[in-house]
Amino acid sequence: MTNFTSASEQMNVETDIITLTRFILEEQKNFAPTATGELTLLLNALQFAFKFIAHNIRRAELINLIGVSGSANSTGDVQKKLDVIGDEIFINAMKSSGNVKVLVSEEQDDLIVFEGGGRYAVCTDPIDGSSNIDAGVSVGTIFGVYKLKDDSNGSINDVLRKGSEMVVAGYTMYGASTHLMLTTGHGVNGFTLDTQLGEFILTQPNLVIPQSRAIYSFNEGNSYYWPKYVQKYVEDLKKPQESTGKPYSSRYIGSMVADVHRTLLYGGIFAYPADSKSKNGKLRILYECFPMAMLMEQAGGACVNDKGERILDLLPKGIHDKSGIWMGSKGEVDRFVKYIE
Ligand code: AHG
Ligand code: MN
Ligand code: MN
């Protein structure tokens, strides 16, 4: 089919944009022709949740949502008001989709099993990076999706599984613009929310992370507690490198979504090491480590724990289990792995 671009080219108007909805339907046609359309409906419910959360974050300062809500979640974090609102928006969007049976949220102590017959389990960090929210730093929603096991009616066994069994993963970052990074197992695609249209528009098709980049992203405030091999690895990054004569640059925002977004686009390595203080690190396996690991690998990067084991091969025992995590350009992760004793 010829697409009509001559007139619009002269006026520099794009007349053949790919919305997320159109993209999902094309993916379904290309990769899952026998699909029932359930995953398409689920992705539409997810994108509604992102639009609604983005709307509330944009208005937060105006309607005074900034600041703490006074309650605390299962891991003891003091919840910001937007944590609570983001969580409720997400739960309602998943429940009303009719496609989700099981939901794990950072903000919910226990698993949620919905009435009805959905065939998907969703794991989410509704608002990641909320400690930064009062300072206007980008925060985001992280999500990972499992298809229920064939014989399951929805239980914890649908989510205490390897990350390699996730069928969809991604994040939406609420920054200057609202940016969705998505994988359904066939590469990574980036979408930007056009607030006038109310549609996510494909802006970064088939994103590939650079093979290497002299950027490291860790909270060095924890370095006293790091194992010796981690300290040696970081010290060597700070020396002038043979190839460039310059040391690595340090970039750390403190919101995982923002640090991972920069790493996907620029390359480099992001890490939250397990150490003598945190024991298993700080980031949660099901709704921070697994989704970001799937995105990184689908973009041609790598993601391992402190022993160099592939994150997606880990098997969590609890829905809020944590792991140390090292992810980013394949060349950078391979360099780190060489230091592991
Ligand atoms: P959350 O806001 O969902 O609790 O996640 C915060 C996490 C993650 O976003 C970030 O990478 C990490 O906390 C930063 O931790 P430090 O402040 O200890 O560096
Ligand atoms: Mn988080
Ligand atoms: Mn969170």
Please state the atom number of ligand 1 nearest to the C-alpha of residue 130.
Answer: 2
Cα–chain-centroid distance for residue 77?
Answer: 20
Ligand 3 centroid vs 254 CA: distance in angstroms?
A: 12
* Neighbouring-strand partners of residue 147: 120
The protein residue with its alpha carbon nearest to ligand 1, atom 3, reads 128
Q: Which of 320, 311, 319 has its CA nearest to residue 270?
A: 311
Q: Which of 316, 247, 236, 304 has its CA nearest to residue 271?
A: 304
Mutate to test the pocket of ligand 1, among 174, 219, 282, 320 (most ligand atoms within 8 A of CB): 282
Per-residue model confidence (pLDDT) at position 239: 98
Per-residue model confidence (pLDDT) at position 59: 81
Per-residue model confidence (pLDDT) at position 28: 82
Per-residue model confidence (pLDDT) at position 30: 83
Per-residue model confidence (pLDDT) at position 32: 73
Mutate to test the pocket of ligand 1, among 251, 288, 289, 292 (most ligand atoms within 8 A of CB): 288
The beta strand positions in the chain, using DSSP E, are: 68-72, 78-80, 100-105, 112-113, 120-128, 139-147, 168-174, 178-183, 189-194, 199-204, 215-217, 249-250, 269-272, 302-304, 325-328
Per-residue model confidence (pLDDT) at position 72: 61
Q: Give the count of beta carbons closer than 10 Å to the beta carbon of residue 78.
A: 13
3-state secondary structure of 92: helix
Q: Which phi and psi angles does 22 have, rounded to 5°?
A: -65, -40
Please state the atom number of ligand 1 nearest to the C-alpha of residue 75.
Answer: 4
Per-residue model confidence (pLDDT) at position 67: 63
Ligand 1 centroid vs 219 CA: distance in angstroms?
A: 10
Per-residue model confidence (pLDDT) at position 81: 82
Per-residue model confidence (pLDDT) at position 240: 98
Q: Along the 341 residues of the chain, how does pLDDT read in single tens digits?
A: 566 656 667 777 888 899 998 998 888 888 777 777 887 889 899 999 999 999 988 887 666 666 666 666 666 666 568 889 999 999 999 999 999 999 999 999 999 999 988 999 999 999 999 888 778 889 999 999 999 999 999 999 999 999 999 999 999 999 889 999 999 999 999 999 999 999 999 999 999 999 999 999 999 999 999 999 999 999 999 999 999 999 999 999 999 999 999 999 999 999 999 998 888 999 999 999 999 999 999 999 999 999 999 999 999 999 999 999 999 999 999 999 999 98
Per-residue model confidence (pLDDT) at position 249: 98
Please state the atom number of ligand 1 nearest to the C-alpha of residue 221.
Answer: 19
Ligand 1 centroid vs 256 CA: distance in angstroms?
A: 6
- Ligand at shortest distance from the CA of 83: 3
